[in-house]
């Protein structure tokens, strides 16, 4: 072991039931077995150790939207939920459609983030896709094939041209596929009616028809079984579409307004039936202040926080015996890393040394205990298991409710070309 050892995780129970010690150093797993000497030793006995999550769909706000969330609060929230990598979407204010705007976003994140982060490039008419790729965009989108908060729909011809350009670059396109009906929703069932399940699936098929051979597409936040079935690329689902239906809320509860909308309880259960087809679970963390959400339903913004509760909700399902731990690791850690083309976290030598250690204790979600700036959650009172310890880059980042000294690292896309390079 030539690398300097930073930490040893002792008595780690692996997903297959074996117990071992993990030696960490240089941000990687160095060895599984007899431990070496380390600056820090963490005893994982009695805890469930899983590779930390990659949340490939977050909106960290910041900039002119700092009242909703900033990089410090959003990435702190991520760490306390067992997420060590977040991917920020480009429908910021201003949107990330030029290398200059992208570089400014990176600088802001580097100053404030406490977990690792990637940033996607924006796709709108006139966006400098090649320049964004060279600037370090991890992927492109979410590209709005249907309008949503802070994002207008991209015309089909623009989308087709973007797919061709991104294929040439070797870049991944991530798509928000909806085709809303005209009108302003009066309440939650009306929101579901105006953004129906049928047109979501039709929008997915339309996007697939535009994708050239060899193009790569990832569908964001699929909310219906029909949309999952229609997808031609990789598929993402969110905890709010898996765990919530509009029928669980008062009709005018704006906290539950989100795009795509929450569906009926029957549709929610149908989405769960596609668990094996879903490649990734991501939060679509999109916080708004309580005051903003307090507007009358037609005027209230769509979106909800979720990065801190994503893994805890899924871990509660694991402990209840409804899904397997292996499937959660696959959909929140290894698959997102594979889709994005970044090193995966795991237990093998060379894997990224990012882990979340969970107690075998279920609690109810309390919004006052969360770390997002917006201080509310649609999952209030639901069963969850929060990590006691989070390890990032081979060092302890969260322990016993405390955020330890840590700093986020920018994960650059494969097209990154540093300024001044010849």
Annotated binding site for substrate: 59-61, 91, 288
The tokens of 70 are what? 């900033």
The tokens of 39 are what? 């600056």
CA nearest neighbour of 162 among 172, 150, 177:
172
From CA 237, how far away is CA 241, in angstroms rounded? 7
The tokens of 383 are what? 């069963």
Burial of 105 (0-12, 13-18, 19+ CB in 10 A): buried
Q: Which residues are annotated as a binding site?
A: 57, 59-61, 91, 142, 176, 221, 284, 288
From CA 387, how far away is CA 83, in angstroms rounded? 10
Phi, psi of 30 (to 5 degrees): -95, -35
Task: Give pairs for 110-114: CB < 8 Å, separation 24+.
Answer: 110/408, 110/410, 111/71, 112/62, 112/70, 112/71, 112/72, 112/75, 112/408, 113/71, 113/72, 113/75, 113/407, 113/408, 114/72, 114/75, 114/76, 114/79, 114/397, 114/403, 114/406, 114/407, 114/408
Whether 128 is a known active-site residue: answer no
**Annotated catalytic residue, options 284, 366, 368, 400:** 284
Please answer whether residues 14 and 39 qualify as being in contact, where contact means their C-beta atoms are separated by less than 8 angstroms.
no
The tokens of 2 are what? 């030539």
Q: Which residues are annotated as a binding site for Zn(2+)?
A: 57, 59, 142, 176, 221, 284
Show the DSSP H helices in 195-279 as ranges: 197-210, 225-230, 239-243, 265-272
**Strands 7-13 and 40-43, bridge-based pairing:** parallel
The tokens of 131 are what? 């320049």
The tokens of 234 are what? 């990789």
Please answer whether residues 250 and 216 qualify as being in contact, where contact means their C-beta atoms are separated by less than 8 angstroms.
no
Q: Among positive and negative, which fits the CA dihedral 58, 88, 233, 341?
A: negative
Point out the residues that are catalytic.
284
């Amino acid at each position: 072991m030539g690398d300097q050892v930073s930490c040893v995780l002792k008595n780690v129970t692996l997903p297959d039931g074996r117990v071992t010690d993990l030696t960490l150093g240089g941000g990687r797993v160095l060895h599984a077995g007899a431990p070496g000497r380390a600056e820090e030793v963490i005893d994982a006995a009695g805890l469930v150790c899983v590779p930390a999550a990659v949340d490939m769909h977050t909106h960290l706000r910041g900039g002119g939207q700092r009242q909703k969330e900033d990089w410090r609060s959003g990435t702190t929230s991520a760490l306390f939920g067992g997420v060590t990598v977040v991917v920020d979407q480009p429908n910021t204010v201003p949107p990330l459609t030029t290398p200059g705007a992208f570089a400014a976003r990176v600088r802001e994140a580097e100053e404030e983030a406490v977990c690792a982060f990637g940033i996607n490039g924006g796709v709108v008419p006139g966006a400098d896709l090649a320049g964004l790729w060279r600037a370090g965009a991890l992927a492109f989108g979410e590209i709005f094939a249907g309008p949503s908060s802070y994002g207008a729909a991209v015309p089909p011809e623009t989308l087709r041209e973007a797919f061709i350009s991104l294929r040439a670059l070797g870049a991944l396109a991530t798509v928000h596929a909806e085709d809303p009906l005209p009108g302003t929703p009066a309440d939650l069932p009306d929101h579901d009616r105006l953004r129906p399940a049928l047109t979501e699936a039709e929008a997915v098929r339309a996007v697939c028809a535009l994708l050239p051979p060899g193009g790569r597409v990832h569908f964001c936040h699929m909310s219906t079984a029909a949309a999952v079935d229609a997808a031609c690329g990789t598929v993402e689902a969110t905890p709010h579409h898996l765990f919530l239906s509009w029928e669980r809320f008062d009709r005018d509860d704006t906290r539950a307004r989100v795009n795509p909308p929450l569906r009926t309880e029957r549709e929610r259960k149908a989405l769960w039936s596609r668990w094996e087809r879903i490649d990734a679970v991501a939060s679509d963390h999109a916080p708004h202040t309580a005051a903003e959400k307090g507007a009358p339903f037609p005027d209230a913004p769509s979106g909800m926080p979720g990065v801190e509760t994503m893994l805890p909700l899924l871990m509660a399902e694991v402990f209840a015996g409804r899904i397997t731990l292996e499937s959660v690791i696959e959909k929140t850690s290894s698959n997102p890393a594979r889709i994005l083309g970044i090193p995966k976290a795991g237990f093998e030598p060379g894997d990224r040394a990012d882990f979340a250690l969970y107690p075998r204790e279920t609690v109810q979600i309390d919004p006052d205990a969360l770390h997002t700036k917006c201080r509310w959650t649609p999952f209030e009172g639901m069963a969850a298991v929060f990590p006691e310890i989070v390890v990032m880059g081979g060092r302890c980042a969260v322990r016993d409710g405390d955020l330890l000294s840590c700093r986020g690292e920018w994960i650059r896309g494969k097209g990154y070309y540093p300024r001044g390079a010849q």
